[in-house]
């Protein structure tokens, strides 16, 4: 009896496997390289920022607090957040650039900011959300 020749490589199965692999790799790349939002970045230590903000330069953090003061300057706004840290109330100044869409900020309201410290040790807001 003669043997049947094999049909070769299953190309349809290989294409489906390759597509699944691409989707998994794309999802992993997106997950690992996405920018942190105001809610999933590491919380800032306000005490450390007050003592030596320059050591935090270039790092992104989240901070949530009550807006207690607001000053508008030509180069942007500076807000003061009252943050409770380990039962102690501390104030953290945050600079808001002109390009940040802030809307109407209200005093005594709670806000969450994604901040990055510049080379001078000043917290600069990248994102803002009202809580």
Cβ atoms 88, 115 nearer than 8 A: no
- Pairing mode, strands 123-130 and 76-85: unpaired
- Residue 108 confidence class, pLDDT cut points 50, 70, 90: very high
- Domain containing 68: what range? 46-130
Q: Would residue 5 count as lying in a domain?
A: no
| pLDDT tens-place string over residues 18-28 | 999 999 998 88
Please give the tally of structural domains in the chain.
1
Question: pLDDT tens-digit profile of 31-75?
Answer: 777 655 556 788 888 888 888 888 888 888 889 999 999 888 777
pLDDT of residue 24: 92
Residue 78 in any domain: the answer is yes
Question: What does the mean pLDDT of the chain come to?
Answer: 84
Q: What is the CATH number of the domain that holds 95?
A: 2.40.50.140
Which token pair is 20? 């699944």
- The rounded radius of gyration (Å) of the Cα atoms in the chain is 25
Which residue in this structure is represented by tokens 């390759």? 18
User: What is the model's pTM?
Assistant: 0.66
């Amino acid at each position: 009896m003669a043997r049947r020749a094999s049909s070769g490589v299953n190309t349809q199965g290989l294409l489906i496997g390759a597509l699944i692999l691409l989707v998994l790799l794309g999802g992993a790349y997106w997950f690992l390289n996405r920018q942190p939002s105001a809610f999933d970045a590491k919380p800032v230590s306000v005490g450390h920022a007050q003592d030596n903000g320059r050591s935090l330069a270039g790092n992104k953090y989240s901070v949530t607090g009550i807006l207690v003061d607001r000053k508008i300057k030509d180069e942007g706004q500076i807000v003061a957040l009252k943050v409770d840290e380990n039962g102690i109330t501390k104030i953290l100044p945050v600079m808001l650039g002109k390009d940040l869409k802030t809307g109407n900020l209200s005093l005594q309201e709670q806000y969450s900011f994604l901040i990055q410290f510049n080379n001078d040790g000043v917290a600069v807001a990248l994102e803002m959300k009202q809580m």
